[in-house]
Amino acid sequence: MEEIYWQEVAGRICRKTAAVAVESAEKIPYSTQNGRFDDQTGNISWWTNGFWAGQLWQLYGAFGGENLREIAEKIEGKLDRVFLDSGGMDHDSGFRWLMTAGANWRLTGSETAKNRLILAASDLAGRFNLAGNFIRAWNDSGDGSKAGWAIIDCMMNLPLLYIAAEILRDPRFSQIAIAHADTAMRAFVRPDGSVCHIVEFDPITGKRLGSHGGQGYAHGSSWTRGQAWGLYGFTLSYIHSKKREYLETALKIADRFIERIPENGFIPVDFDQPPEPWYEDSTAAAIAACGLLELSKFSGEKYRETAEMLLRNLVENRCRFDLGCDNILEKCTAAYHDSWHEGAIIYGDYFLTEAALKLCGRETFLW
C-alpha cells in the first residue's frame, strides 16, 4: 500500500513538472514571481542552479521523456560559463554539477558530461586548506576575510569528490573528502547532536577560531536546513567511505533532529527560533527525509517512519500539484532573517522529488 501511495505521488510530481517544463524550457529557476518560475540564467553562478535540471533528470530516469532530458542538458551547457569565472566557482560545485553533468553521465553515459564532472571536482579539490583540513566555503573580494570559513552545507558536496575518485581511480579526491568530513565531525557537530552552520579557522595555522550564526535564528542556535545537510551529508560520506564514525555522527544528528520535530510535523527554520515570528522551512523537512531514508538502510526503522511522516505531511499540506503555480512545495524559507519567508525554492521541489522516487524504487542515486 505504501509503495502504491508513493507511486501515485511520484506520478503527480512528474505530470506537473512535465507540463511546467514546457513553459520554462529556457529558465534556470530559483523561486517564483506571481506563481511563475524566475530565471537565474543571468546569475549563472548561483549555487542552486543545478536543482531544476536534477529534478528533470530524476523524472527522466524514472518515467522517460525526451523533453525533460533536452531541457536538463541545455542547463548543463549554460553552466559551462561558470567554469570561466573563478569568482563564481565555490564549495557548492556538487550541487551544480552532480545534479546536471553527474545525472547526465549516469543516465546516458555522456563523456562530455563526465568531463564536466571531473572539472568541477578538480576545482572543488583546489579549495582544500591543508593546514586546517577543510574545504573553503565562499569567496571574498580578495582580501582573505573568508579564507578560513567552512560551512556544514559542504558535506553535501563531498560526493562530487568521492565519485571523481571512483571514475579516475585517483584517491586524492576521496582523501580530501575524508579529511574535510573528519574536520566537520570534530569542529561542526555539537555534543547535543546539533550542528554549527559556519566555522571559522585560521587559514594559516588551521586552528579553529570560532563559529558564526549564518542562516539560522542566532549564533549557537539550531538552523534546521543545516541539521538536514549534516544528517544527509554524513550519511553520504559513510556510504562512500564506509567509515563507521560518519554513520555514528549521522545518527547523532538524526536523533537530535527527530527529538525536536514539533507535534504538528512542520519544520521551523530554526529549532530555537521564538514563537513569534515563527517561520517554516519545508525544504529542511524534504532534505532531512531524504537523509533519513538513506540512514534507515543501515539503522532502525524509526528513521524511515519519520521520513515518511515528514513527507506525507508535505504532500498533504504543503504541495501544489495543480498548474496554478510552477512550484510544487510551499512554505520554503532560505534564512530566518531574510526579507521574505515561506515561498517557493527550487531545491525543495528537487528533494521532494528525490524522496518520493526513493520510496517507490525509481530514484537515480546522484550522490
CB 101 within 8 A of CB 117: yes
Of 61, 152, 92, 160, nearest to 347 (Cα)? Answer: 92
Angle 8-13-14 from CA coordinates, rounded to 5° = 95
* Amino acid making up residue 299: S
Residue whose grid cell is 573580494? 141
**Cell numbers found for residue 162:** 568521492
Residues, the chain: 367
Residue 12 inside a domain? The answer is: yes
Strands (E), the chain: 32-33, 36-37, 128-129, 134-135, 149-151, 198-201, 208-212
103 — phi, psi (to 5°)? -65, -45
**Cell numbers found for residue 93:** 560545485
What kind and span of H or E run contains 177?
A: helix 171-187
- Residue 63: CATH number of its domain: 1.50.10.10
What's 32's DSSP letter? E
What kind and span of H or E run contains 63?
A: helix 51-63
Our measurement of the distance from residue 352's CA atom to the centroid of its chain's CA atoms, rounded to an integer in Å, reads 11
Residue 366 inside a domain? The answer is: no
The confidence score (pLDDT) of residue 3 equals: 83
Name the residue range of residue 151's domain. 2-359
The confidence score (pLDDT) of residue 267 equals: 98
**Cell numbers found for residue 24:** 520554462
Residue 364 inside a domain? The answer is: no
pLDDT values of the chain reduced to their tens digit, one per residue, 367 residues = 688 999 999 999 999 999 999 999 999 999 999 999 999 999 999 999 999 999 999 999 999 999 999 999 999 999 999 999 999 999 999 999 999 999 999 999 999 999 999 999 999 999 999 999 999 999 998 999 999 999 999 999 999 999 999 999 999 999 999 999 999 999 999 999 999 999 999 999 999 999 999 999 999 999 999 999 999 999 999 999 999 999 999 999 999 999 999 999 999 999 999 999 999 999 999 999 999 999 999 998 999 999 999 999 999 999 999 999 999 999 999 999 999 999 999 999 999 999 999 999 999 999 9
The confidence score (pLDDT) of residue 23 equals: 95
Q: Strands 149-151, 36-37: parallel, antiparallel or unpaired by DSSP?
A: unpaired
pTM, entire model:
0.98
The confidence score (pLDDT) of residue 1 equals: 64
The confidence score (pLDDT) of residue 190 equals: 98
Q: How many domains does the chain have?
A: 1
Residue 354 inside a domain? The answer is: yes
Residue 367 inside a domain? The answer is: no
